[in-house]
Amino acid sequence: MLKNSKTDKLKKVEKVYSFWGRFPSLYGAQDAITFLGRAKTIRSRAVKKIGLKKGDKALEVACGSGRNFTYLVKDIGKNGFILGFDYSQEMLDAAKQLCERNSWNNIKLVQGDAAQLKITENNFDGVVSVLGISAIPDWEKALNRCYDVLHHAGRLVVCDARLFTGVLKILNPLIRLIYSKFAAWDPSKNIPEKMKEIFGNVEVENLNLDTFFIAISVKK
Ligand SMILES: C[S@@+](CC[C@H](N)C(=O)[O-])C[C@H]1O[C@@H](n2cnc3c(N)ncnc32)[C@H](O)[C@@H]1O
């Protein structure tokens, strides 16, 4: 029963992101709304928190159309390596086009379910996921896989969205409805708490009226 509902959720992910992958510029427009106009600031801040150095190996889980690659490439340089992993082939196709336009030759793109993440290039220096974990049906398993593929002292950084608190929470039912339908978003997941359980530590920074957070865990 539970397995079936996970399969249904993956089918929904496939359907929803097949659309966004075919129209990456529309995805870009909705990105500006989701981040309340601060997408560049928050994305670059999240990537900085991984603490990558030139030549490092980074994994982006649920990389989508590659909107964080520009910040990752800057940090790892030409001799580093990025693995972009996503369930949606259409999102990965958009990511591939972005890589070709920018001549980023050190990015490999792999399709699959992050809960079943089996990667030969293990021992990553850092793992990041932006707006990804909240969309992954079996997100707890996916976080465990992130732990497994990290080097000792490597960091997992998760940047994700939350519902409004305070007076603006009146908007939450509408936001939940729209983002569930069009982004397979599930805000009920307590991602930082699960990261603390797996890694034994987590630091959280809240941003954008607390509608965004960046959570960092270190593999000890
Ligand atoms: C809101 S998008 C975020 C994309 C990108 N990280 C960004 O910052 O724009 C959510 C992404 O999660 C991916 N996703 C959802 N479930 C997944 C799973 N089980 N395994 C891998 N990727 C998944 C979707 O295909 C989609 O590309």
Write the CATH number for 145: 3.40.50.150
- b/e sequence 141-162, b meaning 16+ C-beta within 10 Å: bbbebbeebbeeebbbbbbbbb
- Which residues are within 8 A (CB) of 8 and not within 5 positions of it... i.e. 6 or more apart? none
Protein residue with least CA distance to atom 1, ligand 1: 131
**Ligand 1 lining (C-beta closer than 6 Å):** 13, 17, 62-64, 67-68, 86-88, 91, 113-115, 130-132, 135-137, 183
Q: Which domain holds residue 144?
A: 2-218
Length of the chain: 220
- Residue 185's φ and ψ, nearest 5 degrees, are -85, 135
**What string of pLDDT tens digits covers the 220 residues of the chain?**
455 687 899 999 999 999 999 999 999 898 999 999 999 999 999 999 999 999 999 999 999 999 999 999 999 999 999 999 999 999 999 999 999 999 999 999 999 999 998 776 668 999 999 999 999 999 999 999 999 999 999 999 999 999 999 999 999 999 999 999 999 999 999 999 999 999 999 999 999 999 999 999 999 9
203 CA distance to ligand 1 centroid (A)? 23
Count of domains observed in the chain: 1
Q: What's the pTM?
A: 0.95
Distance from the alpha carbon of residue 165 to the mean position of ligand 1, in angstroms: 25
Q: Hey, whose CA ends up nearest to atom 25 of ligand 1?
A: 88
CA of 112 to the centre of ligand 1 (A): 10
> What is the maximal distance between C-alpha atoms in the chain?
48
Residue whose token pair is 């990537």? 47
Shortest-distance atom of ligand 1 to CA 68: 8
10 Å Cβ neighbour count for 187? 17
